[in-house]
Structure 1
Amino acid sequence: MDNPARARIVKGMTQQSDVLIVGGGLNGPALGLALARAGLSVTVVDAHPPRARAEIDFDGRAYALAIASRNLLKSIGVWDFLPQRPQPIEQIKTTDGRPGEGPAPFFLHFDSAEIEEGPMGYMVEDRHLYAAFLQAMRECPNLTLVSGAEVVGQATDGTGVMVTLSDGRNLKGRVLAGCDGRRSGTARRAGIGRTGWSYGQTAIVCALAHEHPHHGIAYQHFLPSGPLAILPLTGNRSAIVWSEREAAARAAMALSDTDFLAVLRPRFGDFLGALSLVGRRFCYPLDLTLANSYVAPRVALVGDAAHGVHPIAGQGLNLGFRDVAALAEVLVGAHRRGEDIGALDVLERYQAWRRPDSTALALGMDVVNRLFSNDSMILRVARDLGMGAVNALPGLKRTFMRNAAGLSGRPARLLRGLPL
């Protein structure tokens, strides 16, 4: 029989909360835990059932978590609930080349020994991270998870916001956080438009078992049709994010496992020995999409609802966690000062904090993808020389590493492992 805390999370509903959060993926629960552990009452609405992702067999989906993201997960009580030890990323090797020809002679090599904080990141499987979030939410008394109901309406006034669920129930709060992805219904209902463009690429995501150990090394191969990321998982396994032109990606997805590996092999290389697929293959179109505003009266957007970026360097979820940490710090600070946490001037502090950083990173990834996803000889020479030059400058390499780790600039308290 379920314990009361579990029953409350799965079936319960809070009619009135300080904060309503739409989206039960990862950013929504992270924001909910950060706020609830700081004393605010929170309701997280997830359109999907709560257990499916936590109980499935390995399906290939995994995340590269930066050091700052690890700090946040520790601060909100999630890290210790991970059912399996994450795989540390000890080194990152970035190369340029053509399929079947091997990498160019100039490359970038980042080593965790070059920074004081230890491994540059950690690989965590989606099912394990989601299970840890569920456990942490069960044990958080100020947080209620409403599952299996979709938000179909929202309305704001001078004192709060109300959302209507697909089963006819209503929830009320002082502020609404949209953590519901690139096609955010929260943003659309708030009248927030988006700006962006397609890359004409599709990302193929899967996992491979391989003969030789990876030694905790992540690889980013830039190929003419798009980048290929090889990310270490526990054991002799690696997660793959292969960005390919749309037509070629559709053709690759239609192949048998054996034929798929035959197409991937010239791009992957043979340095890890024999390969086999583990779990399923996924694909999704790649584009850049930025919300025209991160806030509206009583509404704030977080993660992909605010910014969808190219998966180069695996920064999507890390960007979302930076949003979570900043918004939580703004709302908790306003609450402790007796301010209205849903007031537009309060929410604009969050936008001023996060929008410049996330927009700059999104556009930076756009430039990198365009610079490397081609076979121009002039650009090839220029970018290879550029990587070689950066690799020869330890100070510049260290700056890049700290940026990727989320430790540069003005990190929010949770990203530094500090309580709110």
Structure 2
Amino acid sequence: MDNPARAAILQGMTYDSDILIVGGGLNGPALALALAQGGLSATVIDALPAAAQADDGFDGRAYALALASMRLLKALGIWSEVGMRSQPVHRIVASDGRAGEGPAPFFLDFHHGEIEEGPMGYMLEDRYLRQAFQAAMQSAPDVTLMPGETVVAQAPDATGVTVTLASGKTLRGRVLVGCDGRKTGTGSRAGIRRTGWDYGQTALVCAIAHEHPHNGEAHQFFMPAGPLAILPLPGNRSSIVWSETHRNAAAIQALDDAGYLDALRPRFGDFLGEIALEGKRFTYPLNLTLANAFVAPRLALLGDAAHGVHPIAGQGLNLGLRDVGALAQVLVEARRRGEDIGALDVLERYQTWRRFDTTVMAAGTDAVNKLFSNDNPVLRAGRDLGMGAVNALPGLRRRFIREAAGLTGDLPRLMTGRPL
């Protein structure tokens, strides 16, 4: 065999890591750690510099983690580092109404005591989860972290995939995974198109301190312009995700802190007493965006890169972590069987597993947002009666509670708390 042909074969069989992961937010590190647990090596390519990921200042961002997501974090060794900083969610109340008028008489009231497993979920600040992932990756021998790097090109072939970084470096792996958000460059470069639409809404996100304790209660208040979520944080603090029309949101975000609170108070109510801002204020436009395919040759999309849904149920990160559990399990089991983990038929097992669940969640959040984000009196009467009916039926209410806790469906092993 001539030297060029031999060199080509050797190049095809030499890998920097088994899996190259684009995106160092939360899903990317979770996947890397899950794969390492199953004996696969991973390189995480993160556009943010290391200093940005290490920042421990509170910026107002927090996540609602379903019980099943907590179990995955526990199986990865992350929960032992962050659990003491979390706030258990003991109760969820969903109601309908208008700003300044209070909620309608019919509402949904879910209490964790109706299921045996414990709290339905936990609230956790972004900084603690992000720092725990960074520390875990740095101590995992099979995980390589490349901060401050971006991918500019990717080339799959019969035995692997090669990516080129903006710095000029090249990396080779068996599989490339895009965890790079709704505007995924990984998916775009693979020619994967997306389906979706804009909701005409912008989410205003902040954290507040309040006078009275929240007692671990989360509230979802549906108003004509969009929902307001009040999510408990440790201490007398709550995370706010507040949806308004694009125009209203821009005007509110432009106000100073005092004006912002004046706009929030009639929507928030006075049940927690006086309120004050903590941390920064954010906005982001709300849309639905689904990748038309979750996989391509030597490639898989995960989290928001595969599916971006309305935050109405707080399921964005939970869906991503389900993807993590499913993809890691598919790849690790394929490796144990001696299969090529980057073969399209292997990757399609992940797509088959996750496509239906994410499509149902996207359709469900889309339908709920459209049903509640209006002031139509007929729809208002129907949805209020519907919530009252669900709340009056213990079996149906328990089903909704288990759904909120992430305990339904075909769960990946990690989301049941079992290792790979």
Same-fold call, TM cutoff 0.5? yes
Partner Cα distance (1:388, 1:24) in 2: 42
Q: Which amino acid letter does the alignment assign opposite residue 82 of structure 1?
A: V
Partner Cα distance (2:376, 2:369) in 1: 13
Other-structure match for 1:30: 30
- 1:37: how far off? 1.4
1:204 pairs with 2:200: no
Look up the SS of the partner of 2:192 in the other structure: coil
Other-structure match for 1:349: 349
Measured against aligned partners, the alpha-carbon deviations of 1:225-253 in whole angstroms (never above 9, x if no partner) come to 00000000000000000011000000000
Alignment of 1:12-411 (within 5 A): 16-82=16-82, 84-411=84-411
Partner Cα distance (1:51, 1:303) in 2: 24
Measured against aligned partners, the alpha-carbon deviations of 1:113-152 in whole angstroms (never above 9, x if no partner) come to 0011111100000000001101111221110001111011
Kept in 2: contact 1:81–1:135 (CA 8 A)? no
Look up the SS of the partner of 1:408 in the other structure: coil
Q: Which amino acid letter does the alignment assign opposite residue 196 of structure 1?
A: G
Partner Cα distance (2:185, 2:53) in 1: 22
Q: Which amino acid letter does the alignment assign opposite residue 147 of structure 1?
A: P
5+ residue gaps in structure 1?
Answer: 1-13
Other-structure match for 2:11: none
Partner Cα distance (1:297, 1:32) in 2: 20
Kept in 2: contact 1:182–1:307 (CA 8 A)? yes
Normalised by the length of structure 1, the TM-score is 0.96
Count of aligned positions: 407
Partner Cα distance (1:113, 1:203) in 2: 31
Partner Cα distance (1:81, 1:300) in 2: 29
Partner Cα distance (1:99, 1:255) in 2: 19
> Which consecutive segments of 4 or more residues in structure 1 shift more than 4 A?
none
Look up the SS of the partner of 1:395 in the other structure: helix
Kept in 2: contact 1:99–1:223 (CA 8 A)? yes
Kept in 2: contact 1:83–1:128 (CA 8 A)? no
Partner Cα distance (1:199, 1:228) in 2: 15
Q: Which amino acid letter does the alignment assign opposite residue 361 of structure 1?
A: M
| Worse-matched range after superposition: 49-58 or 163-172 | 49-58
Q: Which amino acid letter does the alignment assign opposite residue 300 of structure 2?
A: A
Partner Cα distance (1:224, 1:162) in 2: 49
Partner Cα distance (1:81, 1:137) in 2: 13
Look up the SS of the partner of 2:174 in the other structure: strand
Kept in 2: contact 1:202–1:244 (CA 8 A)? yes
Look up the SS of the partner of 1:60 in the other structure: coil
Kept in 2: contact 1:22–1:177 (CA 8 A)? yes
- 1:62: how far off? 0.2
- 1:80: how far off? 1.3
Kept in 1: contact 2:53–2:134 (CA 8 A)? no
Partner Cα distance (1:396, 1:54) in 2: 44
- 1:84: how far off? 4.7
Kept in 1: contact 2:197–2:289 (CA 8 A)? yes
Kept in 1: contact 2:180–2:186 (CA 8 A)? yes
- 1:83: how far off? 7.8
Measured against aligned partners, the alpha-carbon deviations of 1:319-339 in whole angstroms (never above 9, x if no partner) come to 000000000000000000000
Measured against aligned partners, the alpha-carbon deviations of 1:375-405 in whole angstroms (never above 9, x if no partner) come to 0000000000000000001111111111121
Partner Cα distance (2:73, 2:322) in 1: 11
- 1:54: how far off? 3.4
Normalised by the length of structure 2, the TM-score is 0.96
RMSD between aligned residues: 1.0
Partner Cα distance (1:212, 1:61) in 2: 21
Partner Cα distance (1:97, 1:216) in 2: 22
- 1:78: how far off? 1.0
Q: Which amino acid letter does the alignment assign opposite residue 302 of structure 1?
A: L
Partner Cα distance (1:53, 1:149) in 2: 13
Look up the SS of the partner of 2:293 in the other structure: coil
Q: Which amino acid letter does the alignment assign opposite residue 319 of structure 2?
A: L
Other-structure match for 1:7: none
Partner Cα distance (2:160, 2:273) in 1: 58
Look up the SS of the partner of 1:326 in the other structure: helix
Look up the SS of the partner of 1:16 in the other structure: coil
Look up the SS of the partner of 1:105 in the other structure: strand
Partner Cα distance (2:106, 2:225) in 1: 19
